[in-house]
Amino acid sequence: MILNYLSFTENNIDKTNKWVSLKEIPNGGMMFYPAFYKSSIVSLINTFGHDSSKLRKCGENLGGKEIKMGDIAFDFQVFPKVFCRVVIWEGDDEIDPSATILFDSSVQHIMHVESIIGLGGYIINKIINELGRD
């Protein structure tokens, strides 16, 4: 992933502050989204979907910045110019919990879609593993 980032990054790309899901990323995002959802997003929902406050300590420990979105959300700068956002909406008796990972739209000019998928899965796994460190 790091080698891909170093070789694919365009120098004149800046953060757009437009957040997109994997399915909005051209050249394969929509095609790969169902598998990404099953392998990564579902784990996020199962871990934090009924107690989003658990994400706070994990996000802070990993250097994330809490933002106002969903019930709880964190922004992470993964590499220079590569940003992602993890968002949790808690469930209750009537509504199922939900979660997503968003990327700054500039990521499509910085990484291949396969690397973006790997990055999203890596971030989610790091967050979940951080919960077990307590």
pTM exceeds cut of 0.75: yes
DSSP H or E run through 113? helix 113-131
Domain extent for 94: 2-8+18-131
Q: What is the mean pLDDT of residues 67-83?
A: 95
CATH of the domain at 62: 3.30.310
Domains: count for the chain: 1
pLDDT digits (tens, 9 = 90+) for 2-38: 776 666 666 778 889 999 999 999 988 899 999 999 9
Q: How far apart are the C-alpha atoms of 45 and 6, rounded to whole Å?
A: 32
In a domain, 97, yes or no: yes
pLDDT digits (tens, 9 = 90+) for 34-53: 999 999 999 999 999 999 99
In a domain, 13, yes or no: no
